[in-house]
Structure 1
Amino acid sequence: MKQKKWTPKKELDGSNTLIFGDKPEMLPEQAYISLTRGEGLNLIQLFINQVMTLLVMNQMKKAPGLIYAELNGELKEWKGNGQTMTIWDGKQMPKFRNHNTHGFAMKFFTWIIHRKNTKNYYLTYSAKETIPSVAEVKDILKQYGKFYDGGVLARKAAPPGTGEDKKSS
């Protein structure tokens, strides 16, 4: 089996994406997609986010059930946006999400990232055989994701195809 590695990619919009593994053409029936996005991060938040992201990326290399991942970021006018997409075989993502470096990062991010200057989105849903592009992830999160505006929950998640609010990550 081929060893997965992180590779950089420059997007058409000028942002940069780090890709882990090869984007699969077919997904397992029980595949789940987990999406996150933070907007409006200041330079201190971006620095902390980068350090924590590097630590989590190392944990991702060893995560059972991780099929594919994309980490996208951009900096415009001294404000940054960060976006992640991970694709999981089955429901192994919660074990990764809640433990080790990522578990610590989630607790830490709540304090440092959910601030008055940010908008944050989170969503986990069944993959339904398609993997969204970087631009589509942004649109999906803005339409369906759990949304925090200035650190305050403004909307619960309603994953695509459900038509109802569901508890999401």
Structure 2
Amino acid sequence: MQKWVRHEDPNNKYGATFTLGDNSVSLPKGAVVSVTRGENFNIPRLIINGLLNQFIMKALTKNENLLYAELTGQLQGGVGQTLTVWKDPKLMNNFRTKGFHNFSRRFFSWIFYSGSVKAYFHTWKLTETIPSSDEAGKFVIENGRFFQGGKLIRKANHHKVG
């Protein structure tokens, strides 16, 4: 079983990245990346989101369909981002809609869909390499499904990158 590795941010004592696997993994045909990003989380939302992520992170370590995962967070700005890479979109969707992830997604949706939270979601096919966390963040902000305070502002643009 793979283990999560914590990477401290030397420039930000309130930020860290957690990785599972190797981002230079060989990508099979049909591999997809899925990015979820939330901004403007207040402290209670950050705490609850962090607790939920602990359960989801544990489930990801047991999933043989996951190729790579990366979670980043920053206290300033209340930012949290998850990047996962899957063998194919059906396997990713199966994880998303089953078990604890599905429970969290439905029961705690107010974390992403209320207050001043900005939420971005996007999944796309990978062709060559896994994007860096910064590249994925920029891409999901520019092209992902975007909600502000729970209101859909923009649907996802379906570009293929990576």
Q: TM-score, normalised by structure 1?
A: 0.87
Unaligned segments of structure 1, at least 5 residues: 163-169
Q: Deviations over 1:101-154 (max 9, x none)?
A: 100111123223211210000001101112111111110011110000111000
SS in 2 for 1:102: helix
CA contact (8 A) 1:29 1:129 kept: no
The aligned counterpart of 2:159 is 160
**Percentage of identical aligned residues:** 37
1:119 lines up with 2:118 in the alignment: yes
Bigger mean CA deviation after superposition, 151-160 or 34-43: 151-160
Q: CA 1:13–1:87 in 2, change beyond 3 Å: closer, same or farther?
A: farther
Work out the number of aligned pairs and report it. Answer: 158
Q: TM-score, normalised by structure 2?
A: 0.91
Divergent runs of 4+, >2 A: 10-15, 159-162
CA contact (8 A) 2:69 2:84 kept: yes
The aligned counterpart of 1:68 is 68
- RMSD value, Cα: 1.6
SS in 2 for 1:29: coil
SS in 2 for 1:16: strand
The aligned counterpart of 2:109 is 110
1:80 lines up with 2:40 in the alignment: no
- How far 1:12 moved relative to its partner? 6.0
SS in 1 for 2:78: strand
1:133 lines up with 2:132 in the alignment: yes
Unaligned segments of structure 2, at least 5 residues: none
The aligned counterpart of 2:54 is 54
CA contact (8 A) 2:120 2:147 kept: yes
